[in-house]
Chains A and B, each alone.
Chain A
Amino acid sequence: MNNDKRIKIIIGHYGSGKTEFSINYAVKLAKENKKVALVDLDVVNLYFRSREKAEILEDMGIKVIGSSIKASALDIPAISADVLTPLQDKSYEAIMDIGGDPAGARTLGRYHNYFQEGNYDMFFVLNANRPETQTVEKVMEYMTKIEDTSRAKITGIISNTHLLKSTTVDDVVKGYQLSKEVSKVTNVPLRYITVLEELVPKLPKEIQEIVFPIKLYMREEWML
């Protein structure tokens, strides 16, 4: 994780798990006493956005930047000027949680001049259990379209195949295999394999190296 660039852009297909990964990443950095900003640039989704968890994240010392208008039920794509803070202030580790699909990646265009090759990472979150991203071809289509819209390059793949709380080792392995194939064809490295903490000990050895254990922050107790 220490090799990742200061600016980390999290993109992917709608519903691939970008927000859950972004929050977990932010928490992990905060625990290492890093100065962390989590930028919620999701203007596609209106439920289950990282800004909903602002309170618990701020308690951990994470700066959460959502919309400039404070309303949980906001239905307009208003972005805060504060987004520039972690982009300009180099003392920040910036995690940018972007809305799904090319439509969501459109917000990145405005920050184009901050993304110079080598100073940012753009991670593509991949869930092989989503009907739209089950084959190499389909995944590549999303990767290309999002790169085109965002005018930035994908630098890593996050294998995030799961079925929420009912995820099995088989799901994780299936996702790992798809991610590896995509990585081979695209030359984009497989960066992390996210796995629910409790599943980590059950994983095959070959996967364990780049495992990123996660908790589900966005799922309430009563949710599946």
Chain B
Amino acid sequence: MAKVLMKGNEALGAAAIAAGCKYFFGYPITPQNEVPEYMSKELPKVGGVFIQAESEVAAINMVYGAAGAGARVMTSSSSPGVALKQEGISYCAGAELPCVIVNIMRGGPGLGGIQPSQTDYFQATRGGGNGDYRLLVLAPANVQELVDLVMLGFDKADEYRNPVMILGDGMIGQMMEPVEFKDNNNQELPEKTWATVGTKGERKPNVVNSLYLDAEDLENHNTRLQEKYAKMKANETRVESYNIEDADVVITAYGTTSRIAKTAIAKLEKEGYKVGLIRPITLWPYPYDEFSKIKDDCKGVLTVEMNTGQMLEDVKLALNGRVPAYFYGRTGGMVPTPEEIVEKVKEIYGGDR
């Protein structure tokens, strides 16, 4: 298929439908409103259902229901709206329901603003809801990758019976870029024998539930969940990196900020600086191992985020004190410029090139 020009939010809707998503439940919030708008227009054309729920809480519980019945289902929102969904997300994780949850982040805390941010890194990777659970968290850096990761996300959700979160900032949702819908060659996925689709009198009813009345049963359930998460860590960690082995400074960033970092790195290269990049594509599982490729005498690793230092904590865990960790961030919807990053890197160099 030829390339078309689409806005991130439209493209992610189109990608979901291409991946076989038939149900969307959501509630409007800027800057992701084009997602429900697109789904409301397009889902009926493929025999699907769009419902504008009465609230974010209702929407995520509709997702729980549809996922429990084995359907491919998605919800999307932006930061404060995703905060409202946390209870339902925890229930989906507990009941092991495959679904895709999109967060097109805006500035916070509270209602914050409508401009882009990356302030929900903790919420997404540390468990915004209760309990020992994990989401597979995918962080696209451009509209094409957004499309590819939405499609991948549906497969991974089914493969692991686990909610998948697409974590994009407002810029990714609002930006117009060329995209191509590649042939989505589905991996072999297990049949959903657990789904509540009716017994036809031929088997015992399936039960989708996150409540365990017996402590030992719940511990066993948690042990099984952790085994699943360990498998996800082993197989699903995704990262892009370049020039890190002999870099004097390494920048690490995800989503929109990683693109700004790339532009900064190109500028620095022209001036003779040796700067590498680590761009996590999965925020959970986090690509800790990639940081071990950085040489011991690297002057520092600069984390750039549109927040006050959230991924920075994972970077410090990865570096374990071996190399100094630096941070540069903007908040409130302000987007860092390549020049600001260049300046920060030069500061780390400390004038000696």
B241 near A: Cβ within 8 Å? no
Q: Which residues of A contact B338 (CB under 8 A)?
A: 221-222
Quick one: which of B163-184 are within 8 Å of A by CB? 170-171, 174-178
Q: Do residues A129 and B3 form an inter-chain contact, with CB atoms below 8 A?
A: yes
Quick one: which of A15-53 are within 8 Å of B by CB? 15, 45-48
Q: Choose from B4, B5, B107, B114 the contact partner of A75 (Cβ within 8 Å).
A: B114
Q: Do residues A73 and B115 form an inter-chain contact, with CB atoms below 8 A?
A: yes
A127 near B: Cβ within 8 Å? yes
Query: Contacts A163-B3, A222-B260; is A47 near B178 (CB within 8 Å)?
Result: no
Q: Do residues B174 and A47 form an inter-chain contact, with CB atoms below 8 A?
A: yes
Q: Choose from B113, B174, B260 the contact partner of A48 (Cβ within 8 Å).
A: B174
Q: Do residues B178 and A46 form an inter-chain contact, with CB atoms below 8 A?
A: no
Q: Choose from B5, B113, B335 the contact partner of A130 (Cβ within 8 Å).
A: B5
A166 near B: Cβ within 8 Å? yes
Q: Within the assembled complex, what's the spacing in Å between the Cα atoms of A166 and B2? A: 13
Q: Which residue of B lies closest to A223 (CB)?
A: B175
A1 near B: Cβ within 8 Å? no
Q: Which residue of A lies closest to B332 (CB)?
A: A73
Q: Within the assembled complex, what's the spacing in Å between the Cα atoms of A75 and B115? A: 10
Q: Within the assembled complex, what's the spacing in Å between the Cα atoms of A155 and B157? A: 51
Interface residues of B, dominant DSSP: mixed
Query: Contacts A46-B30, A73-B333, A222-B259; is A164 near B113 (CB within 8 Å)?
Result: no
B239 near A: Cβ within 8 Å? no
Q: Choose from A46, A47, A73, A131 the contact partner of B6 (Cβ within 8 Å).
A: A131
A72 near B: Cβ within 8 Å? yes
Q: Within the assembled complex, what's the spacing in Å between the Cα atoms of A210 and B260? A: 36
Q: How many chain A residues have a CB neighbour from B under 8 Å?
A: 22
Q: Do residues B4 and A47 form an inter-chain contact, with CB atoms below 8 A?
A: no
Q: Within the assembled complex, what's the spacing in Å between the Cα atoms of A14 and B41? A: 15
Q: Which residues of B contact A130 (CB under 8 A)?
A: 4-6
Q: Which residue of A lies closest to B335 (CB)?
A: A220
Chain A 196-224, CB within 8 Å of chain B: the 1/0 string? 00000000000000000000000011111
Q: Within the assembled complex, what's the spacing in Å between the Cα atoms of A2 and B300? A: 57
Q: Which residues of B contact A222 (CB under 8 A)?
A: 259-260, 262-263, 338
Q: Which residues of A contact B174 (CB under 8 A)?
A: 45-48
Q: Which residues of B contact A14 (CB under 8 A)?
A: 7
A162 near B: Cβ within 8 Å? yes
Q: Which residues of A contact B31 (CB under 8 A)?
A: 46-47
Quick one: which of A99-134 are within 8 Å of B by CB? 127, 129-131
Q: Do residues A47 and B177 form an inter-chain contact, with CB atoms below 8 A?
A: no
| A130 CB to nearest B CB, Å | 5
Q: Within the assembled complex, what's the spacing in Å between the Cα atoms of A39 and B37? A: 27
Q: Do residues B178 and A15 form an inter-chain contact, with CB atoms below 8 A?
A: no
Q: Which residues of B contact A129 (CB under 8 A)?
A: 3-5, 178
Q: Which residues of B contact A162 (CB under 8 A)?
A: 5
Which 9 residue pairs of A and B lie closest in terms of their CB atoms, listed nearest first?
A47-B174, A222-B263, A73-B113, A163-B178, A129-B5, A222-B260, A73-B114, A131-B4, A222-B259
Subset of 22 A-B contacts with CB under 8 Å: A46-B30, A47-B31, A47-B115, A47-B116, A47-B170, A47-B171, A48-B174, A48-B175, A72-B333, A73-B113, A129-B5, A162-B5, A164-B178, A221-B338, A222-B259, A222-B260, A222-B263, A222-B338, A223-B175, A223-B177, A223-B259, A224-B177
Given A15-B6, A45-B174, A164-B176, 12 further pairs, Cβ under 8 A:
A15-B7, A47-B115, A47-B171, A75-B114, A129-B4, A130-B5, A163-B3, A164-B177, A164-B178, A221-B263, A222-B260, A222-B262
